[in-house]
Amino acid sequence: GCYGNTYHETPNLDRLAGEGIAFDRAYTTYPVCTPARAAIFTGRTPLQSGAYTNELPLYETVPTLGEIFGQAGYRVGYIGKWHLDGAGYLGGGKAARGFPDALWYDGEAYRADVGEAAFARGYGSYTSLELREADLPDALCWATRNTDRAVAFIEQHAESDEPFLLVVSHDEPHPPAVCPARLLDRVKLVDIELPATMRDPLEGKPLMQRRWQAADREKYDITPASMRDGIHRYLACNAFVDEQIGRLLDCIDRECRDNTAVIYSVDHGDFCGDFGLTGKGPAMYDAITRVPLLVRAPGVTRPGIRTTALTSTLDLMPTMLELAGITANTPLDGVSQCSTLANP
């Protein structure tokens, strides 16, 4: 909502933007899951980290965010989607280097936790990643369980003299865009504006993109009605994740607001019918490359600021390290944005 979407129900992210700084020109390093996430959690380009396409693991010689912060004396935790171990979309259920097993909650851990019946009810098969009926109750959704664990972690560590780093990595709204059915009423189908480029024939565009568009139209029967339904579920799922982010913000505000920086971003976008395409992949359109970036850092950012400074998700790790006063003893390809945070 804070980026101008009038039918996007995100009051908590809007609140975070109003209490900190919003970047209008933040871009993903690579609009595909694994390489994008590799850049975020190593500060290296996908080619340098080893995870340059989906299902490839990080090089063993490239330290993770958890390792660097842990070595600096931080209590670290990672909850949610990882997709950087080469073990498939759900992960292998084993904590990544630098993060403790006790808090690890990737897709495989979530699946084991809720049981096969509940998992199949909401998520089905991750081989197809098709949108599913949003019929899981709140308590069984992955984002809810991520947030439950995150709140418990913050409450446990907020009063400690030991600083902490916590990553909460929600899978949603990635297809199958699972959320409780009650969220479908939050956005009305009739209000959804379809992308103006949905019927663009992509003349003069790369052959790969034209083939991609043709395949999507054949597979998904892309019509105004089908795209409205898909976008409806996507927005409902975003509203659900926003609720979970609100729970986290409430906990931080209650326990440790004055000394805790909050950073929100995503690994990449989704076409949602823009140029007649779905998902994401090898293309450079704003729909999949431009991402939200919101930062609230006590003593650094000021409320309600927007900036047009150009940045990338590759810059997140260097920025976090500078905010924490940590010097990384490893090469980093991004640059810190702390000067922009303080003087946009």
pLDDT at 129 over 70: no
pLDDT at 127 over 80: no
Provide the phi-psi class of 273: left if phi over 0, else alpha when psi is between -120 and 50, else beta. Answer: left
Backbone angles phi, psi at 131, to 5 degrees: -65, 135
Q: What is the pLDDT of residue 131?
A: 45
Q: What is the pLDDT of residue 340?
A: 98
Lowest mean pLDDT among 56-65, 84-93, 218-227: 218-227
Cis peptide bond prior to 331, omega within 30° of 0: no
Report whether 197 contacts 277 (CB < 8 A): no
Q: What is the pLDDT of residue 218?
A: 82
Provide the phi-psi class of 142: left if phi over 0, else alpha when psi is between -120 and 50, else beta. Answer: alpha
Distance CA 37, CA 230 (A): 25
pLDDT band at 17 (very low <50, low <70, confident <90, very high): very high
pLDDT, greater one: 192 or 266 = 266
pLDDT at 139 over 70: yes
pLDDT band at 121 (very low <50, low <70, confident <90, very high): confident
- pLDDT 10s digits, 41-61: 999 999 999 999 999 999 999
pLDDT band at 67 (very low <50, low <70, confident <90, very high): very high
pLDDT at 32 over 60: yes
In 10 A of CB 11, how many CB atoms? 14
pTM over 0.85: yes
Lowest mean pLDDT among 122-126, 255-259, 285-289, 311-315: 122-126
What is the average per-residue pLDDT within 299-311?
Answer: 98
Q: What is the pLDDT of residue 125?
A: 54
- Of 146, 167, 138, the C-alpha closest to 65 is 167
pLDDT at 109 over 50: yes
Distance CA 101, CA 149 (A): 13
- H/E element, 295: strand 293-296
Q: Which are the catalytic amino acids?
A: 33, 83
pLDDT at 248 over 60: yes
Q: What is the pLDDT of residue 178?
A: 87
For residues 39-76, one letter each, b for 16 or more C-beta atoms within 10 angstroms of the residue's C-beta and e for the rest, the string is bbbbbbbbebbbbeeeebbbeeebbbbbbbbbebebbb
Lowest mean pLDDT among 21-25, 102-106, 113-117: 113-117
What is the average per-residue pLDDT within 262-279?
Answer: 94
Distance CA 106, CA 170 (A): 10
Question: Mean pLDDT over all residues of the chain?
Answer: 92
Report whether 29 contacts 314 (CB < 8 A): yes
Which residues are within 8 A (CB) of 136 and not within 5 positions of it... i.e. 6 or more apart? 118, 121, 122, 178, 179, 180
pLDDT, greater one: 200 or 7 = 200
What is the average per-residue pLDDT within 320-325?
Answer: 98
- pLDDT 10s digits, 172-189: 999 888 888 888 887 777
Q: What is the pLDDT of residue 227?
A: 85
Lowest mean pLDDT among 73-87, 132-146, 319-333: 132-146
